[in-house]
Amino acid sequence: MAESMNNILKILNVLILFISKWFGYCVAQQIPLPDTFVNPSFQVAHYLWEGKITQIVKELNKVKKPSYILATPYHSLFISSFLDDQVLYVSDTRQSGSVVRIFTSGHGLDGPWGMVSDGTFLYVASFTTDRIHKYHLESGNFAGAFGSEDDSLDCPEGMAIGPNRTLFVTSFLNDKILKYSLDGNFLGVVADKSNGIKGPEDVALLSNGTLLVSSHYTNRILKINSTTNEFLGEFAKVERPVGITVGSDRNVYVTSYVTNSILRYSGKTGELIDVYASGGGLSGPSSVSFADYRTLYEASYDSDRVVLYNSTSGLTFTLPGRVKEYDAEGTFMQGSQKH
Ligand SMILES: *[C@@H]1O[C@H](CO)[C@@H](O)[C@H](O)[C@H]1NC(C)=O
Ligand SMILES: *[C@@H]1O[C@H](CO)[C@@H](O)[C@H](O)[C@H]1NC(C)=O
Ligand SMILES: *[C@@H]1O[C@H](CO)[C@@H](O)[C@H](O)[C@H]1NC(C)=O
Ligand SMILES: *[C@@H]1O[C@H](CO)[C@@H](O)[C@H](O)[C@H]1NC(C)=O
């Protein structure tokens, strides 16, 4: 009896040794960030990623649980700092003297998540209070709030601006997608759990008017006709999707929370193209936003970090050999220039 016990202990010992060795191996495999500081707010590291992309990683040291990120074509960044109840702002990440400042806090903003802009206002979802806050983009002044539990808005997260000045809002806790006018009028429920939505985190519009919804707990991106609210079925399968954005190449970029990666899907067919980006300390990615066709900013929720992917593969070629460089699109609308 005692001997067999001894044997079991021996086997356990070997097992523990193996596991700790293996764990140590995994840790040793992580590439440390070089101590290269370009400015006080960002840490920048260069290394090759799969031999084809130069990856630059920038770390923002002030942000606590970045839930959402919005990049502008001028490389300004709006960052929802979920735990600090603040929206942070960097005016130009390319400038070495660029500092991070608080764009807004207060007015009841509690757990900021999704952000969109119509060129005049910045709309911010206040997760804990079930409200959508509105701020003047230039001054940062508070311009009111709308939404309530009466509209069945329950823990809003990602948002998207639709045609005719409409706003699509994910209502995370009750598995709904709601529609508002940008003036704050409630326009009804677009989709709910009867469409297979569970834990909606973000929405994005394809150029043909299809609304994409990331349904976190069912591992699906779903399609909805944004005009008629007709449910159009599955767009793609993604493991624990959170943030979605549509690139200027018309492809769809989704953060996969558990695989710590940004996946790229064909905007036409929904087929997986590749793992577009990973690494750089990306952990629990929550949101993606393009500044231009080759610069993708990524909110890394679990590592309190903002990661920049500078891709040299963001160019598309049109025959006979001309490079087509699209204007920035993504989640930020350039006011009158756009529509
Ligand atoms: C656009 O929005 C306005 C105001 O909400 C509404 O009265 C109008 O019917 C909408 N137009 C279309 C085409 O949906
Ligand atoms: C949405 O429905 C309208 C009306 O049936 C149709 O004309 C339009 O093409 C549809 N759009 C999408 C993206 O399915
Ligand atoms: C819009 O694009 C989506 C995705 O490519 C596709 O499934 C849908 O059929 C398109 N709708 C129309 C009306 O073209
Ligand atoms: C991206 O990389 C290119 C080439 O190295 C560089 O010229 C450009 O400034 C970089 N962009 C950003 C935003 O870092």
Question: Which amino acid residue places its CA nearest to atom 2 of ligand 1?
Answer: 164
**Residue 204 and residue 288 in contact, taking contact as beta carbons nearer than 8 Å:** no
Which residue reads 């806790």 in tokens? 173
pTM: 0.80
| pLDDT at site 92 | 81
Could you say which residues of the chain have pLDDT below 70? 1-62, 95-98, 280, 294, 310-339
271-311 residue pLDDT tens: 998 888 777 677 899 999 988 876 788 898 998 878 777 66
- Quote the pLDDT of residue 10: 55
The β-bridge partners of 277 are: 262
pLDDT at site 98? 67
Find the residues whose C-beta lies inside 6 A of ligand 1.
164, 181
- Identify the residues whose C-beta falls under 6 Å from ligand 2: 208-210, 225, 227-228
Instruction: Give me the pLDDT at residue 64, please.
Output: 85
pLDDT of residue 321: 37
* pLDDT reported for residue 316: 41
Q: What does the pLDDT read at residue 29? A: 31
* Residue from 244, 216, 220, 246 nearest 233 by CA: 220
Contacts of 117 (CB under 8 A, 6+ apart): 70, 123, 137, 332, 333
Q: Cα of 233 to ligand 2 centre, how many Å?
A: 14
* Res 304: pLDDT: 81
Q: How far apart are CA 260 and CA 105, in angstroms?
A: 29
Distances (CA, A) of 152 to 130, 159, 165, 169: 9, 15, 21, 11
Rounded-to-10 torsion of CA 257, 244, 121, 83: 0
Counting ligand 3 atoms within 8 A of each CB, the residue from 206, 234, 251 with the most, and so the one to mutate, is 206
Mean pLDDT of the chain: 78
Cβ atoms of 134 and 143 closer than 8 Å: yes
Cis ω for the linkage preceding 320 (within 30 of 0): yes
324 lines ligand 3 (CB under 6 A): no
Return d(Cα 190, Cα 271) in angstroms, integer. Answer: 25
Question: What pLDDT does residue 121 have?
Answer: 96
Q: Which long-range contacts (CB under 8 A, 24 or more apart) does 152-156 make?
A: 152/176, 152/178, 152/189, 153/178, 154/130, 155/127, 155/128, 155/130, 156/113, 156/114, 156/125, 156/126, 156/127, 156/130, 156/131, 156/132
